[in-house]
Amino acid sequence: MITLDLNGKTLTGELVVKDGTVVIGNGTLRSSDIGYAVTAKGESTLILDGKAKVVGNKGVCVSESSRIILKNADISVVNIAAACENSTAYAELTIKGAKLKVTGGAASDCAVKWNSSAILCVESGTVTADGNGIGIQYNKGNVEIKGGVIGGKYALALDGASGSALTVSGGELRGTAAAVYDMGNDGDVRIVGGLIKGTADGAFAAESGFSGSVKVLGGNFDETVPKEYLQKGEYISELDKNSETYYVIAHTHTYEGGRYEQFDIGSHNKFCTICGESVREAHVWSDYISDGDTHYRECSLCGRTSMHLKHTEELDEAGNTVCPICNDVIVEAEKPADTAASTEESSKAEENGGCSSVVSGGFAVVLVIMALTAFFGKKRVGAE
Ligand SMILES: [Zn+2]
Ligand SMILES: [Zn+2]
Ligand SMILES: [Zn+2]
């Protein structure tokens, strides 16, 4: 390990660390107008510690399979404070208590520019950009923000390539415009914790046509999290009255006792009692109900009634005309005549052994008619 004590002096130019572990402190590194003040290459490890200052145009750069650890360093430059270039997936930059700042104020200025497949880990410290500058400009690589404060017009600008991953699990993202600027992302970008605040536009802003490429699973926000960033049906944002921030929590949709809204003859929408999201489903029909002339069904959840249809008519065993669909009796079977005389007669009939006397009475009438026919028939024959 080599320790480079600058003894309060300034080293100007483009310092390159090629091998081993180098610790630089107690002085200032000033970049040239074009290159980085210090670049780590090969498999080297560079540590900026104790009163190390970096000034000029560009700060530090990890490349190849090197590592840079920024401890108590103070990097204040115009254009880019830290970046990775031509790096492998093993290259790594760790920010652990350092201050990184870009002062240029242009939209192209960023405190950290991450566009190579290297690892960036922010544990503590500050990463900020003045004016229109960006805190962390992320294009690809593996990035973890566990702590610290990231700030700029946008704290985080995402333009991610597929296969890359960025996770915010702690710290603060503060944007004077928005905390996260979404320029579209095919990578795996997640917010699982941290405090996310944007002054002018709120937590999220997006380039038109590029929203919802961030998965929000946790964290606290200064505004309710737009639905496109939440895992549909799993996560919701709610206001925490104590901190006046919105937080994101997991839930399972719950419909019982909630609101149902008729949609069409076949379906209704039901609304989750927790997040208010709705889903469409078929009506839950009752049995057929008769209203006299017709029958219909009713949805027990939304109250929708089906079409009113004419009964189907059928005779039951008792001779009633019934509708086999709604079970309504449409016409009752005729009962025997109900007068006092017939009651007396039928009770007599019962004494004589059922209805045989009624039948024999009828038979007697028939015999009389036959006898009369025979009499007049003979008389007519006799007249001729
Ligand atoms: Zn829900
Ligand atoms: Zn319904
Ligand atoms: Zn019916």
298 C-alpha to ligand 2 centroid (Å): 8
Judged by DSSP in three states, 227 sits in helix
86 C-alpha to ligand 2 centroid (Å): 61
273 C-alpha to ligand 1 centroid (Å): 7
CB 116 within 8 A of CB 143: no
Exposure string for 218-237, b = 16+ CB within 10 A, e = fewer: bbbbbbebbeebbeeeebbb
204 C-alpha to ligand 1 centroid (Å): 22
Classify residue 266 by burial, with Cβ atoms within 10 Å: 0-12, 13-18, 19+.
Answer: exposed
Alpha carbons 62 and 93: distance in angstroms, whole number: 7
What values do phi and psi take at 161, rounded to 5? -95, 155
What's the confidence (pLDDT) of residue 252?
Answer: 86
Place of tokens 């004589």: 352
Task: Tell me the per-residue pLDDT of 39-65, one tens digit each, with 9 for 90 and over.
Answer: 999 999 999 998 899 999 999 999 999
Judged by DSSP in three states, 344 sits in helix
Whole-number percent of the chain with pLDDT over 90:
64
250 C-alpha to ligand 1 centroid (Å): 9
What's the confidence (pLDDT) of residue 339?
Answer: 52
328 C-alpha to ligand 2 centroid (Å): 24
The ligand that comes nearest to the alpha carbon of residue 235 is: 1
What's the confidence (pLDDT) of residue 338?
Answer: 57
Q: Which residues of the chain have pLDDT under 50?
A: 340-384
What's the confidence (pLDDT) of residue 276?
Answer: 84
Alpha carbons 171 and 193: distance in angstroms, whole number: 8
271 C-alpha to ligand 2 centroid (Å): 12
The ligand that comes nearest to the alpha carbon of residue 271 is: 1
What's the confidence (pLDDT) of residue 26?
Answer: 93
Task: Tell me the per-residue pLDDT of 260-290, one tens digit each, with 9 for 90 and over.
Answer: 999 999 999 999 988 888 999 999 999 999 9
